[in-house]
Amino acid sequence: MFEKAKLRDHQYLKKMSTIISANDLSKRFGAFTAVDAISFEVKKGEIFGFLGANGAGKTTAMKMLTGLMRPSSGQAEVAGFDVYRHPEQIKRHIGYMSQRFSLYEDLTVRENIEFYGGIYGLGFRQLRQKIRDLVAELGLGEVERHLVKSLPLGWRQRLAFSIAIIHDPSIVFLDEPTGGVDPITRRQFWETIYQSAERGTTVFVTTHYMDEAEYCDRISMMSAGKIAALGAPRTLRETFQASSMDDIFLAIARGAQ
Amino acid sequence: MNAIEISTIRKQFGSVVALDNITLQVREGELFGLLGPDGAGKTTLMRILTTLMLPDSGYASVNGWDVQRDYRSIRKNVGYMPGRFSLYQDLSVEENIRFFATLFGTTLEENYDMIRDIYSQIEPFRTRRAGKLSGGMKQKLALSCALVHQPKVLFLDEPTTGVDPVSRKEFWDILSRLKDKGITMFVSTPYMDEASRCDRVALIEKGRILDVDQPDRIVARFPYPLLAVRTQGDTYRLLQDLRQQPWAHSVFPFGEFIHVALSAPVSPAQVRALLLEKGYQNPEAMETTPGIEDCFMELMH
């Protein structure tokens, strides 16, 4: 019965064209307004960049969108579910990957896939097939039974991403996924993102690297709790008369001071 | 005498070679950048130079002092800003500065001129606990504490990692101004775009130095003509298609453009025509100049 319900949801989601919609979404902690009435939409299959300095409200906004925190006011829907009424459904239908919260280093590659597959409710046969697919696609045949901590960082990243979408979510949230790795590995990771988006998965990514903003179809920049810029990188560069995303960021940050 | 002298330094952790016979010199008064990703060996090298770790073999000196024999002299006379925020979170800004000044046998007042440029920006918050400062202010405090005893050589280990672009830019502005005081600065960073703010840079990957020179000289040595290509949408397919071409030595995404290093002569017009033929929307191609990141990836290959 659960399987049938999931299939119904899945088919419904496939028809949706807006995966995230936020309207005047706000979060207040006492007298402090962390997120100040933000409104935006993310379309299916988009690569959407969510940028902003630390303290701008990015993390709080993401927590509300991923069902981890209840908003103070405003509305938001993610993958067809209301953030107030169905946060648990949101968690089941999205993927999530972050720098700090990722794979278990002291489990093998295979054990990690099995573990997360299980958490996301994949059936036994489905999971076995998934393991085979993932191992083949990522070329992990030789290291399937090795501990994750023995893998180079770049492989781990791509594995963590594949695991984050193991249950075929319509949207995956990536929280600063490419910190510190070498430039080639960083780009390989972005190619994995491109491939995913091509297959119809919407990607919501936060990053500190302003040049990565350029890989996105559209971006939003938060400053002091508000969205200060929203649109395609090229359009924003024209609007702000800037030659790079960095310059836009500087212009916005100065404006806020 | 070079401010920093490194000769065939080697360091291994179990089976991992963190530093593989590194040789490097940093001149007095230079603003020197060590560029490389996580795991390249940057922090290991810095710990050896600040005498926090012994090398397995090789020789290094700071200001003429041997890192193994003369570690006491090095420790009294260098400033060090390590990777994470290293100060006392529960002490105030002022308490932290005074603590470090005392450690080095001096006072804040005696050295105020040295750190005024930086410290004046956080002085209004001097009674605030260090743990409550924003990322950018923490950086400034850590830098002030590293400078309060007027060191001759300053070591900064990834001082701008994880910090927003505004603070990053401001931080490098501060470092540029410190050059006037004649301090030698050895800065490590994973951000390739920061190379242009250094006098010279060393590119490091997996414990090996790939190249050392002034940033513009490194760029001048890039061995292939470079094209910037883009189309409207279809980026994934474009990457695969370009890679199939016999004239493409390397194909890497660079924001909205794809950089193609050419192994055979091909004109932008030819590339555009090819892409139109393959059904891409609005293909664009133009010659472009490589940056440090292009060079780094080519050297890594």
The residue of chain A with its CA nearest to that of B236 is A194
- Stretch A205-230: mean pLDDT: 88
- Stretch A37-46: mean pLDDT: 94
A252 has pLDDT over 90: no
| Topology at the third CATH level for domain B226-300 | Alpha-Beta Plaits (3.30.70)
Residue B232 sits at the chain A interface (C-beta within 8 Å): no
What local confidence, expressed as pLDDT, does residue B297 receive? 94
Q: Output the average pLDDT for chain A.
A: 87
Range(s) of chain B covered by CATH 3.30.70.100: 226-300
B4-214, superfamily in CATH?
P-loop containing nucleotide triphosphate hydrolases (3.40.50.300)
A194 and B38 within 8 Å at the Cβ level: the answer is no
Would you tell me which residues 54-113 of chain B have a C-beta closer than 8 angstroms to some C-beta of chain A? none
B297 and A183 within 8 Å at the Cβ level: the answer is yes
Residue B169 sits at the chain A interface (C-beta within 8 Å): yes
Residue B276 sits at the chain A interface (C-beta within 8 Å): no
**Residue B146 tokens, joined:** 């590293």
What local confidence, expressed as pLDDT, does residue A186 receive? 86
What local confidence, expressed as pLDDT, does residue A11 receive? 53
A118 has pLDDT over 80: yes
Q: Percent of chain A scored above 70 by pLDDT?
A: 91
Give A57-101 pLDDT, tens digit per residue.
888 999 999 999 999 999 999 999 999 999 999 999 999 998 766
Residue A28 neighbours by CB distance under 10 Å: 14
What local confidence, expressed as pLDDT, does residue B91 receive? 95
What local confidence, expressed as pLDDT, does residue A7 receive? 52
Backbone angles phi, psi at A171, to 5 degrees: -145, 140
Chain B residues with CB under 8 Å of A181 CB are 37-38
Contact yes or no for A210/A249 (Cβ under 8 A): yes
What local confidence, expressed as pLDDT, does residue A232 receive? 93
Q: What is the ipTM of this complex?
A: 0.76
**Domain locations along chain A:** 2-105+171-256
Kindly give the parts of chain B with pLDDT less than 50.
Answer: none
Query: How close B111 comes to chain A (CA, Å)?
Result: 30
Give B140-197 pLDDT, tens digit per residue.
899 999 999 999 999 999 998 877 777 888 889 999 999 988 999 999 998 888 999 9
Chain A residues with CB under 8 Å of B163 CB are 54
Residue B37 sits at the chain A interface (C-beta within 8 Å): yes
CATH number (3.40.50.2300, 3.30.70.2190, 3.40.50.300, 3.40.50.1820) of A2-105+171-256 reads 3.40.50.300
Please tell me the pTM assigned to this model. 0.83
What local confidence, expressed as pLDDT, does residue A4 receive? 54
- Stretch A132-148: mean pLDDT: 86
| Burial class of residue B137 (count of CB atoms within 10 Å of its CB; 0-12, 13-18, 19+) | middle
- Stretch A141-162: mean pLDDT: 86
What local confidence, expressed as pLDDT, does residue A251 receive? 84
CA–CA gap between residue A31 and residue A15 (Å, rounded): 41
- Among candidate residues A116, A215, A44, the one with its CA nearest the CA of residue B236: A215
A233 and B256 within 8 Å at the Cβ level: the answer is yes
Chain A residues with CB under 8 Å of B254 CB are 211, 214
Range(s) of chain B covered by CATH 3.40.50.300: 4-214
Which stretch of DSSP H or E encloses residue A47?
strand A47-52
Contact yes or no for B175/B197 (Cβ under 8 A): yes
